[in-house]
């Protein structure tokens, strides 16, 4: 019996070794205008994109197996990816890509880690279970990952971010931002905002920064805690809708039948005619806090 078990184990190992297809390395390149469009598809693996000051696209793909890399286009647009028709048949592939730093970039993945760095164009990135990380002087961002984390270090004029279970972490500023997650936490730091809305159903929502005069920022969570730490020079009218919390050092518990709490965050150096921002914090079950150094 021991000999039979040994032979069976060796056969299984041989089958497994045969099933592990050797990887291949493919290098491709295309000319592209500095503000041209780039679309990348990789269902399984990673895509790392770096902006550079060249009017061309260069990709190095390490692909598990013998599946090919499709690609083509002209100076106004380039598209490339694996020849697999879906994420069910796609092998693991790792893309290292250089694109013009001011291009219009679109990346699509499934179980894919996406990283975009040193980039100053527009970004549209989505994955199902991979992390998405974006940094640089990006002008517009639309990013989504269902079960991965979304991490952004940039100050786009326009920003839309979404996850299901993943966390959203953003360091930067924007005039128009909206972040949404189902169960993940949202953390926004060192920001100057004008119009922004951050929402999580069950996760915590945290904001640290300042709001432009005449701006409006809303922090909303159904079951999580909501907190705002405003910069010393911030001036805002605050509206609170929560069962309990702390506003500028004062604890409160919402009386029965009363829905809202109000407070002002004065700026000692401002005149009475200076326009103030609106800050709205809501939590159906959680605790709300507003602080200022």
- Summarize pLDDT for 6-64 with one digit per residue, the tens: 334 433 433 333 345 578 999 999 999 999 999 999 999 999 999 999 999 999 999 99
Q: What is the mean pLDDT of residues 103-127?
A: 97
The reply to whether 268 and 181 lie within a common domain is yes
Which pTM was predicted?
0.87
Give percent of the chain with pLDDT exceeding 70: 84
pLDDT at 7: 37
The reply to whether 101 and 221 lie within a common domain is no
2 found inside a domain: no
Which residue, 91, 117, 151, sits at the end of a domain? 151
The reply to whether 143 and 245 lie within a common domain is no
Which residue, 151, 185, 206, sits at the end of a domain? 151
pLDDT at 8: 40
The reply to whether 194 and 125 lie within a common domain is no
What is the DSSP track for the chain? -HHHHHHHHHHHHHHHHHHSPPEEEEEEEEE--TT-EEEEEEEEEEEEEEEESSSEEEEEEEEESS--EEEEEETTEEEEEES-SSTTTPPPEEEEEEEETTSEEEEEEEEEEEEEES--SEEEEEESSS-EEEESS-SEEEEEESSS-EEEE---SEEEEEESSS-EEEES-EEEEEEEESSS-EEEEEEEEEEEEEEESSS-EEEEEEEEEEEEEEEEESSS-EEEEE-TT--EEEEEESSEEEETTEEEEPPTT---EEEEE--TTS-TTS--EEEEEEESSSEEEEE--
Into how many domains does the chain fold?
Answer: 2
The reply to whether 114 and 174 lie within a common domain is no
The reply to whether 177 and 289 lie within a common domain is yes
The reply to whether 225 and 196 lie within a common domain is yes
238 found inside a domain: yes
pLDDT at 188: 98
pLDDT at 257: 57
Residue 282: give the domain boundaries. 167-293
């Amino acid at each position: 019996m021991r000999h039979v078990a040994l032979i069976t184990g060796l056969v299984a190992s041989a089958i497994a070794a045969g099933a592990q297809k050797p990887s291949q390395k493919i290098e491709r390149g295309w000319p592209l205008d500095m503000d041209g469009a780039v679309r990348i598809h990789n269902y399984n693996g990673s895509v790392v994109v770096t902006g550079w000051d060249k009017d061309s696209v260069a990709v190095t793909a390490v692909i598990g197996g013998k599946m090919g890399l499709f690609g083509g286009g002209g100076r106004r647009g380039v598209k490339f990816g694996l020849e697999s028709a879906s994420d069910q048949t796609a092998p693991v592939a790792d893309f290292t890509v250089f694109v013009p730093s001011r291009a219009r970039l679109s990346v699509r993945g499934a179980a894919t880690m996406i990283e975009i760095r040193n980039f100053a164009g527009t970004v549209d990135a989505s994955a199902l279970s991979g992390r998405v990380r974006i940094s640089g002087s990006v002008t517009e961002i639309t990013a989504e990952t269902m079960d991965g984390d979304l991490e952004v270090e940039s100050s786009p004029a326009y920003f839309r971010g979404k996850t299901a279970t993943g966390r959203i972490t953003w360091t930067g500023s924007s005039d128009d931002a909206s972040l949404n997650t189902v169960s993940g936490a949202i953390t926004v730091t060192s920001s100057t905002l004008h119009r922004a809305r951050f929402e999580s159903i069950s996760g915590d929502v945290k904001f640290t920064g300042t709001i432009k005069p005449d701006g409006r920022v809303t922090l909303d969570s159904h079951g999580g805690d909501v907190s705002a730490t405003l910069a010393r020079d911030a001036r805002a009218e605050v509206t609170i809708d929560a069962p309990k919390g702390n506003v500028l050092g004062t604890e409160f518990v919402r009386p029965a039948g009363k829905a809202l709490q109000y407070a002002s965050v004065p700026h000692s150096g401002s005149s009475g005619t200076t326009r103030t921002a609106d800050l709205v914090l809501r939590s159906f079950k959680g605790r709300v806090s507003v602080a200022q150094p």
